Amino acid sequence: MNLDTLLHQFDCNNGLSEIINAICKSSVEIEQLVNRVFLDKTVLISKCIQNSSGDEQHKMDILSNEIMISNLTNSNSCSVLISEENEDAIIVDESHSGNYIVYFDPLDGSSNIDCNCGVGTIFSIILDNDKYKTIENRVLTNGNNIICAGYILYGGSTDMVIAFKGKGVHRLSFDRNTTEYVHTGILDITNKNKKVYSINESNFERWDIDMKHYIRQYRKQESKYTQRWIGSMVSDIHRTLLYGGMFCYPSDENNIHGKLRILYECFPMAFIMEEAGGKAIIAKMSNDR
C-alpha cells in the first residue's frame, strides 16, 4: 500500500491529503539534502546563527524550513504555519489559504548532522475553525486538538511515521527506486519486551529530587533496563516506538522549562505515542534537589 491509498482509506479530504502530500514532497527534498550534506559544499556550512528558540541554526535548518514553507503554502490548504525556525506565525496569503494550521520542526536533531546520525522532520496539524479569533488564540491551543501528527526519520532508511486521531500509527518507508512511500507496518508500543530508557543522564545532578528518584529505579540491576540516548528526538522516539521503553527530557536547573518545545516536538510526539498505545505525561519541576 502506498501513501495515497492510506490517505484514501482514512477519508482525508478538505485539504488534509494535500497537506500530507506537501510534507511528503518536502521530506523527499530534505532527504536529498541530507544525503548530499558531505558532498555539496554549499549545504555543509555549519552553525550559523540562533533561531527563535535560542538554538544554533545549521544551514540545513534554514534550507529545510524553506522547503516546508514553500510546499505547505503551495498545497493551498494551510491558513497559518508555525515553524521552530521562525519567530512569528506565518500567515498564508489569501490566494493560497486553507483550513488548517500546521506546526513543524523542519529538521530536528540538526546538531547531529555533522556526525551523520539520524535527523528528522516533525509535524502536527489542527483545524483552524474559528478565524475570527486572534492569531494567538487560534495557534496556542492544547495538544488535544491535533487531528494528525507524524515525523520523517532520515536514517539508514527514510521512514515516515504518521498518526491520525483514533486510527493508530502507520509506518511508511521511502523507496528510492520508485520514489514513493510504501506502507511497512502499524506501530503499537504495547507488549514490547526490550527494556530501554532514553534520557540525557549527564543532566542528572541538575534534576529535582523526584526525577532523580524516578531514574534510579531504571538504574537498579534488577530492573534489567539499559539506557540509550542518540540526542535526536526523532531517532530516540522511533526506537522507543519499535522496541518499547521510555523517552524523557525533564527540566533541570539550566533549562527550567525543559529543552524540548511543546508545540513542535512534545505535542506531536505525545499524540503519536498515545495513538500507539503508550502514555505521555508532563510535570512541573519541584524546588527540592
Annotated catalytic residues are 55, 61, 84-85, 105, 107-108, 265
- Stretch binding Mn ion (CB under 5 A), from 78-86, 141-149, 150-158, 194-202: 78-86
Angle of helix 59-74 versus helix 16-35 axis, rounded to 10: 150
What are 13's three cell numbers? 479530504
Minimum CB distance to ligand AHG, residue 15 (Å): 27
**Per-residue x/- track, 216-255, ligand AHG (CB under 6 A):** ---------------xxx---------------x------
What are 277's three cell numbers? 498505545
- Cβ neighbours of residue 187 closer than 8 Å, sequence gap 6 or more: 161, 168, 169, 170, 171, 241, 242, 276
Q: Which helix (H) or strand (E) holds 121?
A: strand 119-127
Is residue 259 at the binding interface for ligand AHG, with CB under 6 A as the rule? yes
Are 111 and 88 in contact by the 8 Å Cβ rule? The answer is no
Q: Identify which of residues 243 and 249 has a Cβ nearer to ligand AHG in the complex.
A: 249
Touching ligand AHG, residues 33-72 (CB under 6 A): 55
Residue 129 phi/psi, 5-degree rounding, is: -100, 0
Q: Identify which of residues 111 and 145 has a Cβ nearer to ligand AHG in the complex.
A: 111
Q: Identify which of residues 3 and 230 has a Cβ nearer to Mn ion in the complex.
A: 230
Measure the CA–CA gap between 251 and 172, rounded to whole angstroms.
33
Binds Mn ion (CB under 5 A): choice among 108, 128, 208, 252: 108
Touching ligand AHG, residues 265-284 (CB under 6 A): none
Minimum CB distance to ligand AHG, residue 84 (Å): 6
Q: Identify which of residues 117 and 182 has a Cβ nearer to ligand AHG in the complex.
A: 117
Measure the CA–CA gap between 112 and 97, rounded to whole angstroms.
35
Touching Mn ion, residues 86-105 (CB under 5 A): 105
Residue 191 phi/psi, 5-degree rounding, is: 60, 35
- Stretch binding ligand AHG (CB under 6 A), from 72-80, 101-109, 139-147, 204-212: 101-109
Q: Pick one of Mn ion, ligand AHG, none as the site partner of residue 196 (Cβ within 5 to 8 A by kind).
A: none
Minimum CB distance to Mn ion, residue 104 (Å): 9
Measure the CA–CA gap between 213 and 204, rounded to whole angstroms.
10
- Cβ neighbours of residue 144 closer than 8 Å, sequence gap 6 or more: none
Minimum CB distance to Mn ion, residue 250 (Å): 17
Measure the CA–CA gap between 23 and 128, rounded to whole angstroms.
18
Q: Identify which of residues 105 and 208 has a Cβ nearer to ligand AHG in the complex.
A: 105
Closest by CA to 68, choosing from 107, 114, 36, 18, is 107
Are 279 and 273 in contact by the 8 Å Cβ rule? The answer is yes
**Residues lying near ligand AHG in the complex (CB under 6 A):** 55, 105, 108-111, 200, 231-233, 249, 259
**Residues lying near Mn ion in the complex (CB under 5 A):** 84, 105, 108
